[in-house]
Amino acid sequence: MNDFTPEHDSAEPRTPDVPVIPELSQLMVHLLKSVLYREDDERQWASLLRLQARVREQSAVLLLDLVLDEAEGYAFLKSRPDPDESEAAPRMPRLVARRPLSYAVSLMLALLRKRLAEFDAGGGDTRLVLARDEIAELMRVFLPDGTNEARLIDQVDATISKVVELGFLRRLKVAAGSGAQDRGNHEVRRILKAYVDAQWLADFDARLEVYRTALGSRPEAGKGKQND
């Protein structure tokens, strides 16, 4: 009886080996975790521009779309919209979860987006930097009458922290020995333009009136309570 080496079961064909591209793996891990900014990692940004077709293919498997803005210098992954209830397609689980925002956070994002639009219209610097006091002044008019300064600052600080966590603001540190005063400066990240689009901004006044009414009617509005 002759020895022989059995072939693979025909019912279980071998899957061809797919070459692993370390750059692609690093890009996917980064994008699944956070936003990629050109200014933060120019090497990975260059890799993304070169491999973006592969990134889109890999993202599509996870029902994600790559949002890439070369002019503004950011990229991120977002979930594809859910199918309409009338469609037969099943509702798939989301890899990137939706997070509800409190009225205060939504209001601050709206005000920062409007301020960014005004800043861009001025045609000056590309970085919008605001001190905490400036952000507080934007919020002040929408808070209930009688809100004292200490409570205002507490709410603004809590809301700023949440917006920083969401990635729409970045805290700036004062360089040691510069002699500059730390006024709690924050850079408005330009990814906010992707979150609050032009159509949303066109309805800005109507939306602000909704926020004004909602914040003014809530008994805890001045205490910075989060709904998230």
Q: What is the mean pLDDT of residues 47-60?
A: 94
The domain tally of the chain equals: 2
Same domain, 142 and 181: yes
Residue 56 has pLDDT above 50, yes or no: yes
What long-range pairs does 79-85 form, CB within 8 A, spacing at least 24? none
Identify the CATH number of the domain in which residue 174 sits.
1.10.10
Residue 127 domain-assigned (yes or no): yes
- Which string of b and e fits 48-75 if b means at least 16 CB within 10 Å? beebbeebeebbeebebebebeeebbbb
Phi and psi based region of residue 98 (left: phi greater than 0; alpha: psi -120 to 50; beta: remaining)? beta
Residue 169 domain-assigned (yes or no): yes
Residue 121 domain-assigned (yes or no): yes
Same domain, 27 and 63: yes
Same domain, 72 and 107: no
Residue 172 has pLDDT above 60, yes or no: yes
Q: What is the mean pLDDT of residues 197-211?
A: 72
Residue 134 has pLDDT above 90, yes or no: yes
Same domain, 114 and 210: yes
- What confidence tens digit (pLDDT) does each residue in 70-106 have? 999 999 998 887 665 545 555 555 555 566 778 888 8
Residue 53 has pLDDT above 90, yes or no: yes
Q: What angle do CA 144, 168, 103 make, to 5 degrees?
A: 25
Q: What is the mean pLDDT of residues 120-132?
A: 86
Residue 220 has pLDDT above 70, yes or no: no
Residue 5 domain-assigned (yes or no): no
Same domain, 39 and 138: no
pLDDT of residue 209: 73
Q: Which domain holds residue 41?
A: 22-79
Same domain, 137 and 199: yes
Same domain, 128 and 217: yes
Same domain, 53 and 157: no
Residue 146 domain-assigned (yes or no): yes
Q: What is the value of pTM for the model shown?
A: 0.69
Residue 170 domain-assigned (yes or no): yes
Q: At what angle do helices 103-121 and 132-140 cross, to 10 degrees?
A: 110
Same domain, 208 and 120: yes
The Cβ-side half-sphere exposure at 91, using a 13 Å CA radius, reads 5
CA nearest to 28, candidates 70, 62, 71, 74: 62
pLDDT of residue 163: 94
Residue 175 has pLDDT above 90, yes or no: no
Rounded distance between C-alpha atoms, residue 206 and residue 202, angstroms: 9
Same domain, 111 and 75: no
Same domain, 150 and 41: no
The residue among 63, 79, 95 that closes a domain is 79
Residue 17 domain-assigned (yes or no): no
Please tell me which residue, 19 or 52, carries the higher pLDDT value. 52
